[in-house]
Amino acid sequence: MSDDAIAPVANVPTDGTLLFTIRPVDGGEAVEAVVSRRGDDVVAYRNYCKHWTDVRLDTGDGALVRDDELVCQRHGATFTRESGRCTFGPCEGAVLDAVGVEVTDGTVHLNEDGFSFESLGGDDDRDRSSGSRVGFGGT
């Protein structure tokens, strides 16, 4: 596979997402993204909910897809897989940040100006926790 190849399209789930990491070509901070498939069509988005950007849609096991929508398991927000628009939840009307991908010769390739494909999976430097904002400490 070439340097911009993410994965064979057959490896991209139709009932979830495949997590991958990209990095700005200027060497900036790594960015997590997810790709999902409907038939031969693929879409990719940055891996966070628009309600709280520190909450990931895919924590490493694939994001939940229900009725052709990506689901934030923290807030219950739903995003159409085709457009990334939130149709229900605290960020209704917001749109996930798209990541450019294309399928060539049966392989999903990154097609995002200013970014290069780094690896499958998440950014190992990021906290993989659920991003809870609830504190249980007392004073």
Asked whether 123 and 11 are in contact (CB, 8 A), the reply is: no
Tokens representing residue 30 in the block: 């790594």
Region 89-95: mean pLDDT is: 89
pLDDT tens by residue, 96-111 = 999 999 999 999 999 9
Tokens representing residue 114 in the block: 């200013």
User: Is 70 exceeded by the pLDDT of residue 118?
Assistant: yes
Asked whether 94 and 86 are in contact (CB, 8 A), the reply is: yes
Give pLDDT, residue 53: 72
Asked whether 4 and 110 are in contact (CB, 8 A), the reply is: yes
Q: The whole model's pTM is what?
A: 0.84
User: Is 70 exceeded by the pLDDT of residue 139?
Assistant: no
Tokens representing residue 40 in the block: 């031969």
Of 2.30.29.30, 1.10.3720.10, 2.102.10.10, 2.60.40.1120, which CATH number belongs to 5-120?
Answer: 2.102.10.10
Q: CA 20, CA 34: separation in Å to the nearest integer?
A: 6
> Which of 8-22, 30-44, 51-65 is predicted with the least confidence, judged by mean pLDDT?
51-65
Sign of the CA dihedral 61, 72, 46, 31? negative
Q: CA 34, CA 123: separation in Å to the nearest integer?
A: 12
Q: CA 8, CA 24: separation in Å to the nearest integer?
A: 23
Region 77-90: mean pLDDT is: 92
